[in-house]
Amino acid sequence: MWQLLPPTALLLLVSAGTQAADLPKAVVLLDPQWDRVLKDDHVTLKCQGDYPLGDNSTQWWHNGTLIPNQASSYFITDAKVEDSGDYKCQTGLSTLSDPVKLKVYVGWLLLQAPRWVVQEGEPIKLKCHSWKNTTVRKVQFFQNGQGKQFSYQNSDFCIPEAKLEHSGSYFCRGIIGSKNESSEAMNITVQGQENPPTSSSFFPPWHQITFFLVMGLLFAVDTGLYFSVKRALRNSKEDWRNGKVTWTQGPQGK
């Protein structure tokens, strides 16, 4: 019988359902930005979200388990392999954040990048990070096995404007002490501009369009039903009062 609810009640139900989703999602930020680090690195995870008055506590999850830290930042002072995994946070006036993945490696050299997928025209930035920032000499960067940069000291490599052919597998190597060390390889993907990601944000996703179409339809049908039932009731009441109901004609006709 829910179809016969007055349309305003239905509208109230719909708006109550969307209220919880109106809170912004919390965001986990890494400082420094690297999503892969070496053992003994320092990493700060920051939770961005709104707080209600008088409640400045933040909840943190690591691999889905609530951790004791309630401050808005979570400090990892000397990273261990077990600190790897998914981190999520939430504040009093935000919903649960998306997970941020952190991975802690054991080794001498690690390739780091702010992003592993870049848009054509954006810069590609790579860092050849060494364990405990030990000095690295004769640093080389490779793409698909080909040397791209050689430097006596500089552990950073930058391509100011990425082109599609810059996609590929990258690694770095260099001399630490007297040893020749290499990082593991990482893939960089350069995405073309034919389908810029911003265009999708101009249109709501299809399920939302469907949702509003269905709600609109239900509203129209419900309004129609509501008034037709009301009219039918009023008519039958009037018929009753005017003595027009058909069965009363039976005895009169005799």
Residues in contact with ligand NAG by the rule CB under 6 A: 40-42, 56-57, 62-63, 70-71, 82, 84-85, 132-133, 138, 169, 175, 180, 186-187
Query: Alpha-carbon distance 154 to 140, whole Å?
Result: 9
* C-beta of 25 vs 132, nearer to ligand NAG: 132
Q: Are 110 and 122 in contact (CB under 8 A)?
A: no
Q: CB of 32: closest distance to ligand NAG in angstroms?
A: 6
Query: Alpha-carbon distance 179 to 177, whole Å?
Result: 6
Q: CB of 225: closest distance to ligand NAG in angstroms?
A: 53
Q: CB of 180: closest distance to ligand NAG in angstroms?
A: 4
Kindly report the backbone phi and psi dihedral angles of residue 230, in degrees, each rounded to the nearest multiple of 5, phi listed first. Answer: -60, -45
* C-beta of 27 vs 186, nearer to ligand NAG: 186
Q: CB of 123: closest distance to ligand NAG in angstroms?
A: 19
Query: Closest-CB residue for ligand NAG?
Result: 85
Q: Which of 111, 107, 69, 63 has the alpha carbon at shortest distance from 88?
A: 63
* C-beta of 183 vs 222, nearer to ligand NAG: 183
* C-beta of 70 vs 193, nearer to ligand NAG: 70
Query: Alpha-carbon distance 246 to 236, whole Å?
Result: 11
User: Can you tell me whether residue 11 is helix, strand or coil?
Assistant: helix
Contacts of 169 (CB under 8 A, 6+ apart): 143, 144, 145, 185, 186, 187, 188
Q: CB of 166: closest distance to ligand NAG in angstroms?
A: 14
CB atoms within 10 A of CB 124: 22
* C-beta of 159 vs 167, nearer to ligand NAG: 167
